[in-house]
């Protein structure tokens, strides 16, 4: 079937048993020590004073508001980046225009810039002493150390995920189907809705899942613009830090376990989407017949 099993079956192409065992042990122990152990410790620490204490910790008002803020930031950032990502990858892969390479480079900017720098940029631009700070002050708008700043920072750091996922996929699919649709009389919207979108839907979902995970887990950029006002500008990761700094370990781990759960859910969703993506690209074989 697949290449790996074909290689395995033949003695000529398979490795000696000792090497196989060694590689397997090495990777499993690395995985156990650096990934599984910390994850387990999060849950044991969170639950070691009992389930009731755990629920009290996560329903505490400040934590509750942190959860709401995280969900709000993700609910704004993810759809915006979804629209932007689809538009950018559509433009980049289906049209030729001046500045295309600049756009591709700029999309990667949030990946190459440290999140802390990203946060500082927003403080510099929108903060009280920043370029537009006085204008915002005059109009009674607060961006930095308030909810809008957190949303902005979240949008910035999660910006590339959807576009990065879609560009290679759409590049590989080419323009032919869109050209066929245009010749058949479809307008731009019909072409996108009936031809392009069905072809990219699993890739798009994959990008959205990654984007969402990052939006909820972002720490650095959000930390800079948040101001850490309890019950007002703290997201879940910031709340974890505060609780930890206050030596409230059990509560800190309890809140952290929410993020860990989110990560697990993301992994499951991601695996499912990956499986669907693979299924769709490996089409069933042709029917034998006349010509």
Partner 1 sequence: MSITVKNIHKTFGHFTALNNVSLDFPSGELVALLGPSGCGKTTLLRIIAGLETPDSGSIILDDIDTSKTPIRERSVGFVFQHYALFKHMTVFDNVAFGLQVKPRSSRPSKDEISDKVHKLLSLVQLDWLHDRFPAQLSGGQRQRIALARALAVEPKVLLLDEPFGALDAKVRKELRRWLRKLHDELHITSIFVTHDQEEALEVADRIVLMNQGNIEQIGSPDEVYDHPATPFVYGFLGNVNLFHGRVDGEGIQIGNDKLSHQQSQSISQGASVIAFARPHELNIEIINELANDHARGISATIDRILSIGPNAKIELSASSLPGDKNSRQFYEVELPRAEVIRRRLAEGQLVRIVASKLRVFEQPQQAH
Instruction: Give the binding site for partner 1 (CB under 8 A).
Output: 176-177, 179-187, 190, 194-195, 198-199, 283-289, 291
Q: 3-state class of 230 per DSSP?
A: coil
* Nearest Cα to Cα of residue 264 among 4, 98, 46, 39: 39
CA angle 67, 255, 253 (to 5 degrees): 165
The nearer residue to partner 1, 34 or 189, going by C-beta atoms, is 189
The nearer residue to partner 1, 52 or 287, going by C-beta atoms, is 287
* 108 torsion bin: left (phi>0), alpha (psi -120 to 50), beta (else): alpha
Rounded to an integer, what distance in angstroms lies between the CA atom of residue 9 and that of residue 200? 35
Residue partners of 252: CB distance under 8 A and separation at least 6: 240, 243, 244
The nearer residue to partner 1, 80 or 186, going by C-beta atoms, is 186
Q: State in angstroms the smallest separation of the CB of 268 from partner 1.
A: 25
Q: State in angstroms the smallest separation of the CB of 195 from partner 1.
A: 6
Q: State in angstroms the smallest separation of the CB of 173 from partner 1.
A: 9
Asked if 110 and 159 touch (Cβ cutoff 8 Å), the reply is yes
The nearer residue to partner 1, 50 or 198, going by C-beta atoms, is 198
Q: Return the number of other C-beta atoms located less than 10 Å from residue 13's C-beta.
A: 9
Q: State in angstroms the smallest separation of the CB of 283 from partner 1.
A: 3
Residue partners of 219: CB distance under 8 A and separation at least 6: 115, 237, 238, 241
The nearer residue to partner 1, 3 or 287, going by C-beta atoms, is 287
Q: State in angstroms the smallest separation of the CB of 89 from partner 1.
A: 18
Q: State in angstroms the smallest separation of the CB of 170 from partner 1.
A: 14
Q: Return the number of other C-beta atoms located less than 10 Å from residue 263's C-beta.
A: 14
Q: Would you give the end-to-end CA distance of the chain in angstroms?
A: 26
The nearer residue to partner 1, 19 or 184, going by C-beta atoms, is 184
């Amino acid at each position: 079937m697949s290449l790996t099993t074909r290689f395995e079956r033949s003695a000529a192409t398979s490795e000696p048993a000792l090497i196989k065992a060694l590689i397997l042990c090495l990777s499993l122990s690395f995985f156990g020590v650096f990934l599984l152990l910390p994850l387990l410790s999060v849950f044991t620490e969170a639950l070691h004073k009992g389930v009731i204490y755990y629920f009290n910790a996560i329903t505490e008002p400040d934590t509750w508001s942190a959860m709401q803020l995280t969900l709000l930031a993700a609910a704004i950032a993810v759809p915006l980046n979804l629209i932007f990502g689809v538009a950018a990858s559509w433009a980049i892969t289906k049209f030729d225009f001046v500045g295309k390479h600049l756009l591709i480079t700029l999309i990667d900017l949030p990946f190459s810039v440290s999140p802390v720098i990203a946060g500082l940029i927003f403080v510099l631009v929108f903060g009280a002493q920043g370029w537009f700070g006085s204008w915002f002050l005059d109009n009674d708008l607060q961006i930095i150390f308030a909810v809008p700043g957190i949303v902005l920072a979240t949008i910035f750091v999660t910006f590339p995920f959807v576009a990065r996922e879609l560009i290679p996929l759409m590049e590989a699919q080419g323009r032919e189907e869109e050209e066929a649709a245009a010749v058949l009389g479809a307008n731009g919207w019909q072409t996108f809705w009936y031809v392009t979108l069905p072809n990219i839907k699993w890739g798009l979902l994959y990008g959205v899942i990654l984007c969402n995970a990052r939006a909820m887990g972002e720490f650095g950029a959000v930390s800079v613009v948040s101001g850490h006002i309890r019950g007002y500008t703290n997201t879940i990761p910031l709340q974890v830090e505060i609780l930890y700094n206050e030596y409230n370990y059990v509560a800190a781990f309890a809140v952290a376990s929410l993020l860990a759960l989110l990560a697990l859910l993301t992994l499951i969703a991601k695996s499912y989407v990956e499986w669907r993506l693979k299924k769709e690209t490996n089409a069933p074989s042709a029917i034998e017949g006349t010509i």
